[in-house]
A and B are shown apart, each in its own frame.
Chain A
């Protein structure tokens, strides 16, 4: 079945780059997403990538997609305290309107 996996925790020093990794199983996924959730808040769409792309860059965010290995990563350059949140990797699954989420990676920033 469809599944998305990601590590639960990541701790980085302020100013360093953060790299959050994710693997997925559904090779028919059209879209792959990164969402951010701050405490007590809903989900904020950070960025997404089409399955026929390898890379997408948006300011401090870089998404890399390895479709052969079904591996997705999110790199946050110059990580700031405001980046502290849970980051969810997600795929569009068998239907574009039904998103399958990973368990989320909690990113904490060390001074």
Chain B
């Protein structure tokens, strides 16, 4: 079974731009969660999608948004990028129905200049 895949793996943007990251969960998994990892703040939960609906949300500004498609693939969008958005963005998938072992993808490393 293929693992969680994320594209692109690396991205460079400039301040004020927007960016879209993609995550394909493990086959059969319906829940996708997104996390931001920075040296200063560590790993922080962004949001979780289940069956195309946002089910949980962390404490991030509205510039961070996401969506999930009917095939459970998820995208995360960050608008009006700031320097502090430079981070490793990780997505994780799980069945989403009680067995909550989450499996992580390799991440997308975003650098904002």
Contact = CB atoms under 8 A, between A and B. Distances in A.
Interface residues of B, number: 25
A42 B92 CA distance: 10
Contacts, number: 56
B43 A45 contact: no
A43 B90 contact: yes
B33 interface: yes
B95 to A, nearest CB: 10
Interface string A45-75: 1001000000000000000000000000000
Given A98-B45, A103-B42, A45 B100 contact: no
Contacts of B98: 96
A99 B33 contact: yes
Given A35-B104, A92-B100, A98-B33, 20 more contacts: A31-B101, A41-B107, A43-B90, A45-B102, A95-B55, A95-B56, A96-B98, A97-B31, A98-B45, A98-B58, A99-B35, A99-B92, A99-B102, A100-B45, A101-B35, A101-B42, A101-B44, A103-B42, A104-B42, A104-B43
